[in-house]
A and B are shown apart, each in its own frame.
Chain A
Amino acid sequence: MKRWPINHLTAEDLDAFHSASLSDEMREHLAECEECRTMAELDRMVLDGLAALPALAPREGFADRVIAAAHQAPPARSPRLAPSGRARWIRLAAAASVVVSLGASITWSLLNRDLLLSWIHLSTAEPGRLLWLGVRVVATNLTAQPWYSSLRELVSSPGRLVAVVSGSLVVYGAALAALRRLLTPPSRPVPHALG
């Protein structure tokens, strides 16, 4: 059965053409369509040309240089060296200072429990209050806008709400498709851009 509308050769068809496994339908199309025939022949020339590209060789002695450099290069995972005497003392001092600071902090917290609780209360309550105030300011500002009543009217019934949301989605989808089309590189030469 013929495909309708007429489909020119796709990338997969081209691969099939080169491996002599093109479908009868596309073979018939190829016999009739000069554009596809030219494309297939050009593609064949490109692939033949690529396959005929020579394997390039580095200069003589490449392997010797690699082996010599590989022996000199540090191993991928070097063993961890034991710390020197001075480094060990520095590490011990650092660990001791952390332990002392931690102990002092715990002792102070236990002795000043009430003060600490009041700080915690203040630090958690204040941001929450500010956030709520911000929400109220934004909401008040919104309802004071001249277009707010017409917007509310527009989405007042579920039917209208659905229509508005669907319309927005369609516009969004169309914009995305248009953007994608704009960003896709042209598959054929653009005559006015060839200079």
Chain B
Amino acid sequence: MAEPPGDLRAATDQEVVAIARRRDEAACRELVRRYERPIFSLIFRMVRNRELAEDLAQETFIKALNALESYRPEYKFSSWLFKIANNAAIDHLRKRELDTLSLEGSPHADTPQLVEATALQIGEKAETALEAVEHKELGGEIERAIARLRPEYRTCILLRHVEGRAYEEIAEILNLPLGTVKTYIHRARNELRIALAHLKQ
């Protein structure tokens, strides 16, 4: 991927969006570069299939880049993008039910290549082999527990505690009342506590 100019890297989202609206390729690339990981991570943890997540992430960015004219700069660009991504994931989940997470690969993968391609990568932040094992254990348990949450709880908990979004921003992204968002997050945390209680013991 070509490196964007230094001034684009230093620019705010709103400034990059203003340039991207003029169909400037470097600015469009910069927006993708900034958000490809968070958007892909959110969608992947929602649909739990790497190839599908990549298709939906691509669809999200294409929609966003082609609709930049309709984006209102008084809102955060990231909120708008997460909203498009969440809609794409939820639309997909409504059409098709995927209910099992496999750290070893998608349950729908039927060849060794697909299994490898759809396997969930955990432990990138670990520094030592021991930490890697511990992270993989806790991370794997959490991924599994998240996968068992209701989709609306899953989106809320991921946006709040993985992406670090404020309650108000999540309410805006999901078009939900603030109280509902807080309830969903606390119920999700409650379910995760129950699911991970055995690790504490």
Point out residues on A near B: beta carbons under 8 Å.
Answer: 11, 14, 38-39, 41-43, 45-47, 49-59, 61-67, 69-70, 73-77, 185, 187-189
B37 touching A55 by the CB < 8 A rule?
yes
Known: A70-B62, A70-B66. A50 touches B157 (CB 8 A): yes
A67 touching B157 by the CB < 8 A rule?
no
Chain B residues near A62 (CB-CB < 8 A): 32, 36, 40, 54, 57-58
Count B-side interface residues using an 8 Å CB cutoff: 52
Known: A46-B142, A70-B61, A76-B67. A57 touches B157 (CB 8 A): no
Known: A46-B192, A66-B58. A53 touches B143 (CB 8 A): yes
Which among A11, A57, A65, A189 is the interface contact of B186 at CB below 8 angstroms? A11
Chain B residues near A51 (CB-CB < 8 A): 161-162, 164
- With the chains together, A43 CA to B135 CA distance in Å? 17
Which 8 residue pairs across A and B have the least CB separation, nearest first?
A11-B186, A50-B161, A54-B124, A55-B37, A63-B32, A56-B41, A49-B142, A66-B61
- With the chains together, A187 CA to B188 CA distance in Å? 10
- With the chains together, A75 CA to B68 CA distance in Å? 10
The answer, yes or no, to whether B122 is at the interface (CB within 8 Å) is: yes
Q: Mark B21-48, 1 if CB is under 8 A from A, else 0.
A: 0000100110011001110110011000
How near does chain A come to B74, taking the closest CB pair, in angstroms? 20
B121 touching A54 by the CB < 8 A rule?
yes
A187 touching B62 by the CB < 8 A rule?
no
Interface of B, helix, strand, loop or mixed by DSSP: helix
- With the chains together, A53 CA to B197 CA distance in Å? 18
B40 touching A56 by the CB < 8 A rule?
yes
B157 touching A66 by the CB < 8 A rule?
no
Chain A residues near B57 (CB-CB < 8 A): 58, 62
- With the chains together, A189 CA to B195 CA distance in Å? 10
B58 touching A45 by the CB < 8 A rule?
no
> How many inter-chain residue pairs (CB < 8 Å) link A and B?
118
Known: A52-B135, A59-B54, A66-B61. A46 touches B66 (CB 8 A): no
A54 touching B123 by the CB < 8 A rule?
yes
B58 touching A69 by the CB < 8 A rule?
yes
- With the chains together, A70 CA to B193 CA distance in Å? 42
Chain A residues near B37 (CB-CB < 8 A): 55-57
Chain B residues near A70 (CB-CB < 8 A): 28, 61-62, 65-66
Q: Mark B65-102, 1 if CB is under 8 A from A, else 0.
A: 11101100000000000000000000000000000000
Chain A residues near B62 (CB-CB < 8 A): 66, 69-70, 73
Residue in A closest to B197 when the chains form the complex, CB atoms: A42
- With the chains together, A14 CA to B162 CA distance in Å? 18
- With the chains together, A187 CA to B187 CA distance in Å? 8
A63 touching B40 by the CB < 8 A rule?
no
Show 6 A/B contacts (Cβ-Cβ < 8 Å), sorted by A. A42-B196, A42-B200, A45-B138, A46-B189, A63-B33, A70-B65
Known: A56-B41, A61-B1, A63-B32. A75 touches B66 (CB 8 A): yes
Chain A residues near B45 (CB-CB < 8 A): 56
How near does chain B come to A149, taking the closest CB pair, in angstroms? 50
- With the chains together, A57 CA to B200 CA distance in Å? 30
How near does chain A come to B137, taking the closest CB pair, in angstroms? 10
Known: A45-B200, A52-B138, A54-B123. A67 touches B143 (CB 8 A): no
How near does chain B come to A38, taking the closest CB pair, in angstroms? 8
- With the chains together, A11 CA to B184 CA distance in Å? 11
Q: Mark B106-127, 1 if CB is under 8 A from A, else 0.
A: 0000000000000011111100
A50 touching B142 by the CB < 8 A rule?
yes
Chain A residues near B199 (CB-CB < 8 A): 45
- With the chains together, A52 CA to B37 CA distance in Å? 15
